[in-house]
Amino acid sequence: MYNRRAMTYRTQIKGSLVALVTPMSADGAVDYPCLDRLIEWHIEQGTDAIVSVGTTGESATLGVAEHLQVIQYTIDRVAKRIPVIAGTGANATAEAQLLTREAFAVGADACLLVTPYYNKPTQEGLYRHYAAIAGNADGPLILYNVPGRTACDLKPETVERLLPCEAIVAIKEATGTLERIKALVELDPDFVVYTGDDATACASMLIGARGDISVTANVAPARMHQMCMAAIDGDRETAMALDADLAGLHQHLFAEPNPIPVKWALNRMGRIPEGIRLPMTPLAEDFYPLVENALIQAGVKL
């Protein structure tokens, strides 16, 4: 079993961790050559880590075999140049265990596990779910709390109960409340807190979060890296100045449910095709000007 105390995880993975989209052709097939190009671009731009097939990567609409294929492809292409975190959460504990086991077998640096969605488990159910996965994990696990999408809120007291599980090293907290970030940061100095809310990411890192698992980083990777590192280093003035230009993206990349707007933005930038899988649909035309203007404000080349 993985031992958290034997690893300097706190200093290994921090900064701008892109929640990478899964590029798809018009018929919904994964576009692997395009994925190659995205990976290379992120490495060139300074992205600190890639999250493969997280919820932004449309994990809910990829089958298990396909899900694992994209993870392995990403790990192979990155070739250890930056960390790769595999999205392996599921609303069935057995499926999450399978995905996690297979992701570590092909070389994932960590696994990100969203709370079970739709089921609406109790706090006891969440504790048992994560404890079961951690019980035989072969690498570090990152909890992921995003109640706005899952109808399930992983409370700080339940996170605290999970801290003795050696494999659980971090959490992605996406409630967007600084009070929650602060409460989690104060649990344990060796427990890493990431924000999953771009709009409050700068403020979250200034109070102790170690990075942002980011949607905005898909389209503005260099600036997100710079902002995150400035905030983590406590350079408030620089971090806030960089973040000011990103504010429109933080807002309008959620004009419709993620990843609809960010996929449109990347297509507008010429980086991916238009493909997205049902039940998600392409961005409504009414939102084109909002997203395009946010890209321009952030200095993104169109």
What residues does 16 pair with on adjacent strands?
212
Please say whether the dihedral angle defined by the alpha carbons of residues 172, 178, 182 and 183, taken in this order, is positive or negative: negative
- Provide CB contacts within 8 A for 94, sequence distance 6+: none
Distance CA 91, CA 228 (A): 31
Which residue from 78, 93, 165 is spatially nearest to 126, judged by alpha carbons?
A: 93
**Chain centroid to CA 21:** 10
- Residues labelled as active-site residues: 144, 172
Q: Maximum distance among all alpha carbons in the chain? A: 51
Tell me whether residue 56 is annotated as binding: yes
> By CB neighbour count within 10 A (0-12 exposed, 13-18 middle, 19+ buried), where does 279 fall?
exposed
Contact 164, 134 (CB under 8 A): no
What letter does residue 86 receive in the DSSP assignment? E
Cα-based angle 222, 266, 204 (whole degrees, multiple of 5): 45
Which residue from 178, 183, 181, 117 is spatially nearest to 147, judged by alpha carbons?
A: 117
The radius of gyration of the chain's CA atoms, rounded to the nearest angstrom, is 18
Residue 260 tokens, joined: 């609809």
Tell me whether residue 213 is annotated as binding: yes
Residue 164 tokens, joined: 């003795």
Q: Letter for the amino acid at 119?
A: N
Contact 78, 85 (CB under 8 A): no
Q: Which residues are known binding-site members for pyruvate?
A: 56, 213
